[in-house]
Amino acid sequence: DIQMTQSPSSLSASVGDRVTITCRASRSIASYLNWYQQKPGKAPKLLIYTSFTLEGGVPSRFSGSGSGTDFTLTITSLQPEDFATYYCQQTYNTPPTFGGGTKVEIK
Amino acid sequence: EVQLVESGGGLVQPGGSLRLSCEASGFKFTSYWMTWVRQAPGKGLQWVATMKQDGSERYYLGSVQGRFSISRDNARNSLYLQMNSLRDDDSAVYYCARIKGERGYLYSQGMDVWGQGTAVTVSS
């Protein structure tokens, strides 16, 4: 199985901060990397697919980049509604695996 | 409104069975691969099973292979997960989700519609 490692596992940030979350695959997954946001007690929400394509309705402050084994999710100006847990997921190889999550908390 | 609604979760003893259901509305169910994802309490997301539009392809997480069975009834716009020989580590919230795009199981564009989840607790 391809292992997906996210870092950091948690971070504290303030409204307006730029936040970067990284996701590393144990082997190349080309650009088949998706990002989700999950708030407590809620289902995940697709933010970005195939590394950098923004899902419809997702604010442009979210962006994704990377290919191969290293990927990043960037939030350019953190908003109050962005405090949540973020997961990456690869769909290059079976089974499709998720990273362990990054919890973004209010500083 | 595009929607997925799960049901069927509950408390079951180890070794028992449950059948989860997911009813889709607001989109053409027959056009999409569908999947189940679970989340143990306080843990991350874990893919469980996926099924092609016409049921001709099914894929399972290794640890549930042979115990769980994914199925669908396109006439009822419904997806199911039959879970047998349940174990403590199957306890989780189970989400039904739609796979975005036409590529299907792999090389997909992620899961763009999710249900609210149904909780399964395996305990004696």
- Mean per-residue pLDDT pooled into runs of 10, chain A (107 residues): 98 97 98 98 98 98 98 97 97 96 95
List, for residues B22-57, the tens digit of each pLDDT value: 999 999 999 999 999 999 999 999 999 999 999 999
Confidence of residue B101 (pLDDT cuts 50, 70, 90): confident
SS percent in chain B: helix, strand, coil, step 5: 5, 50, 45
A3 reaches B (C-beta below 8 A)? no
HSE-CB at A57 with a 13 A cutoff on CA atoms is 3
For chain B, the distance separating the N- and C-terminal CA atoms, rounded to the nearest angstrom, is 39
The yes-or-no verdict on residue B58 having pLDDT over 80 is yes
Q: Which residue has the tokens 């007690």?
A: A41
Residue B104: predicted pLDDT: 82
Distances (CA, A) of A38 to A81, A83, B111: 11, 9, 13
The yes-or-no verdict on residue B102 having pLDDT over 80 is no
Mean pLDDT of B96-111: 90
The yes-or-no verdict on residue B103 having pLDDT over 90 is no
Closest Cβ opposite residue B44 in set A53, A87, A95 = A87
Closest residue in B to A32 (Cα–Cα):
B107
- Tell me the three state secondary structure of residue A57: coil
Closest Cβ opposite residue A46 in set B59, B111, B116 = B111
Residue A30: predicted pLDDT: 97
- Best probe of the A interface among B50, B106, B116, B118, by most A CBs < 10 A, is B106
Q: Which residues of B touch A67 (CB under 8 A)?
A: none
Percent of residues, chain B, with pLDDT higher than 70:
100
